[in-house]
């Protein structure tokens, strides 16, 4: 009886496969998880600086409130995208090179990295 109860509990706890792909979120979330996993591995290898350090540097240099942070690779470059709220209330994106902590506007980053 306990084995049957355990099986029933496992089936109820796991969402059906159709529910995971119904809305099309499955691939997007997996790729986002994979990007953050890549980022953590690059920090462990010493290729890039930890996000905490990058955020501290960004706040010291720019000072805007950070709304969102994205991570992306452009070739061999690891980049963080910071969506910020300026003092005047405008939304603005900045790109930070995760290895050098260089802060670029979105337009500068597009010219340099072709994104």
Distance CA(89)–CA(70), nearest Å, equals 21
Give the pLDDT mean for 66-72: 92
Decide if 43 contacts 49 (C-beta within 8 A). Answer: yes
Quick: pLDDT tens for 35-54.
888 889 999 999 999 999 99
Going from N- to C-terminal start, the domains of the chain cover: 2-113
What is the pLDDT at residue 85? Answer: 94
Which pTM value belongs to this model?
Answer: 0.68
């Amino acid at each position: 009886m306990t084995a049957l109860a355990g099986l029933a509990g496992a089936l109820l706890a796991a969402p059906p496969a159709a529910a995971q792909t119904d809305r099309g979120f499955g691939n997007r979330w997996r790729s986002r998880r994979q990007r953050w996993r890549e980022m953590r591995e690059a920090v462990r290898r010493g290729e890039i600086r930890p996000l905490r350090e990058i955020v501290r540097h960004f706040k010291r240099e720019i000072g805007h409130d950070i709304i969102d942070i994205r991570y992306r690779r452009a070739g061999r470059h690891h980049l963080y995208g910071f969506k910020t709220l300026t003092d005047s209330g405008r939304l603005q994106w900045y790109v930070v090179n995760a290895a050098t902590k260089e802060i670029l506007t979105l337009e500068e980053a597009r010219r340099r990295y072709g994104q």
